Amino acid sequence: HCPSREDLWVREGKILNPEKLFFDEKGSADIQLDCKDSIIAPGFIDVQINGGFGVDFSLATDDFKSGIDLVSQKILSHGVTSFCPTLVTSPPSLYHQVLPQISIRNGGAHGAGILGAHLEGPFISKEKKGAHPEHCLRTFEEGAFQDLLATYGSLDHVRIVTLAPEMKRSSEVIQELTKRGICVSLGHSVANLSQAEEAVQHGATFITHLFNAMLPFHHRDPGIVGLLTSDKIPAGRRVFYGMISDGIHTNPAALRIAHRAHPKGLVLVTDAIAGLGLAPGRHTLGQQVVEIDGLNTYIAGTKTLSGSVATMDTCVRHFQEATGCSVEAALEAASLHPAQLLGIEHKKGTLNYDTDADFLMLNDALYVQATYIAGEQVWRQDAWGM
């Protein structure tokens, strides 16, 4: 698509086909807005965000709900209109306390919409645990799927589960999750390519932060990374993969390799932690203490990266700059692709007629000027007069 100069029509929270309005109803616009040459793009969807602004989704607090409200409010300025609050590996008691408090809800002036939780762990590999606490890691022992249910307590508000596919009995777990409409993501794993392919054949559709917390690409066994060019993906299925495009987690050359190999699967995620939007210093990521130094975040006292403090709009700009891709491609990696991954592209992630009117106005440098949810302006840059 080449960007064209045209109008966007909105009614009752949806994007409207104006022909219907002109010809069937002989109507016209009640309110007209001059967008002053801005780019209008679908709202961003962040499927991996661990917290921000001092709020950690992997900590049970008395005011957990107000914490999630704060984050959903604050990320509107980054262009995020929907997100999946992400929990890193935690003890079962934490999932039992926190998951019932994550309600799936529409966005609005109160904040970005919540699409359901992303549970990253605890069924992941010890060798590739990254910032996840080792003492909380688990395997599928006797009960496989029953063990997972007992750990999480309930799957009612769960949208994505990240697991390591090399674990014994993971195939049946992947099938059970997929049957329930939950997206299975492969990550924090030492899987070889055939294990990864088998997981995809059983229903896995996503890769958690490609290149991070997995075996590095090797030409004889490319591991999970090899899924990007695998010829063993079931017909009609697409594998998506998350990338943290913050200039730290993935070298720009690696970002370019992934994008060129499989552009349609690339999903930008922030993997943001509680320290997002706060001063450098010590913050948390679930059970761990994290040290923030500039854009670098480490488990305190180590050089292990632990999440990021980059905003989604920063990731979009960095991605566009690193790959030299079109503006549309950069914007789609943060909107259309995550919507397709979650199977909600008929509602979100595009500007098609009859979809939710969640959209952004951006300047040519891709800085967000205003954010709209269901056709209502929910945030705008103060300096930007309308």
For the chain, the C-alpha Rg in angstroms (whole number) is 20
Q: What is the pLDDT of residues 355-373, one digit of tens each?
A: 999 999 999 999 999 999 9
Q: How far apart are CA 44 and CA 105, in angstroms?
A: 16
Please state whether 215 falls in left (phi above 0), alpha (psi between -120 and 50) or beta: beta
Q: Where is 331: in which H helix or E strand?
A: helix 327-333
Res. 1: pLDDT tops 60: no
For 315, residues 6+ apart whose C-beta sits below 8 A from its C-beta are 244, 245, 246, 268, 269, 270, 334
Q: What is the pLDDT of residues 21-59, one digit of tens each?
A: 777 777 777 888 888 889 999 999 999 999 999 999 999
Res. 282: pLDDT tops 70: yes
Task: Determine whether 156 is an active site residue.
Answer: no
Res. 4: pLDDT tops 70: no
Annotated binding-site positions for Zn(2+): 120, 188, 209
Q: Where is 385: in which H helix or E strand?
A: none
Q: Please, are residues 72 and 112 in contact by the beta-carbon 8 Å criterion? A: yes
User: What's the Cα-to-Cα distance from 292 to each of 76, 134, 198, 243, 304, rounded to whole Å?
Assistant: 23, 21, 38, 20, 12
Of 30-34, 270-274, 335-339, 378-382, the poorest mean pLDDT is in: 30-34
Burial code of 259-285, b = ≥16 C-beta within 10 A, e = fewer?
Answer: beebeebbbbbbbbbbbbbeeeeebbb
DSSP secondary structure of 176-227:
HHHHTTPEEEE-SB---HHHHHHHHHTT--EESSTTTTBPPP-SS--GGGGG
Res. 313: pLDDT tops 80: yes
- Half-sphere CA count of 215, side-chain side, radius 13 A: 19
Among the listed residues 56, 271, 356, 358, the single catalytic one is: 271
Confidence of residue 3 (pLDDT cuts 50, 70, 90): low
Annotated binding-site positions for substrate: 131, 212-213, 220, 249, 305-307
Q: What is the pLDDT of residues 176-205, one digit of tens each?
A: 999 999 999 999 999 999 999 999 999 999
Dihedral sign, CA of 276, 280, 283, 289?
positive
Report pLDDT for 299: 95
DSSP secondary structure of 348-361:
SSS--TTSB--EEE
User: How is residue 168 annotated by DSSP?
Assistant: T
Report pLDDT for 386: 46
Number of neighbours of residue 79 by Cβ within 10 angstroms: 30
Q: Where is 288: in which H helix or E strand?
A: strand 288-293
Residue 369: alpha-carbon gap to chain centroid: 21
Of 11-25, 67-81, 176-190, 331-345, the poorest mean pLDDT is in: 11-25
Omega into 122 within 30° of 0, i.e. cis? yes
Q: Please, are residues 211 and 254 in contact by the beta-carbon 8 Å criterion? A: yes
Q: Where are the domains of the chain?
A: 43-351
Confidence of residue 98 (pLDDT cuts 50, 70, 90): very high
Res. 2: pLDDT tops 50: no
Q: What is the pTM of this model?
A: 0.97
Burial code of 217-252, b = ≥16 C-beta within 10 A, e = fewer?
Answer: eeeeebbbbbbbebeebeeeeebbbbbbbbbbbbee
CATH superfamily of 43-351: Metal-dependent hydrolases (3.20.20.140)
User: What's the Cα-to-Cα distance from 239 to each of 137, 228, 233, 262, 318, rounded to whole Å?
Assistant: 26, 7, 8, 9, 23
Q: How far apart are CA 290 and CA 305, in angstroms?
A: 9
Annotated binding-site positions: 120, 131, 188, 209, 212-213, 220, 249, 305-307
Res. 352: pLDDT tops 80: yes
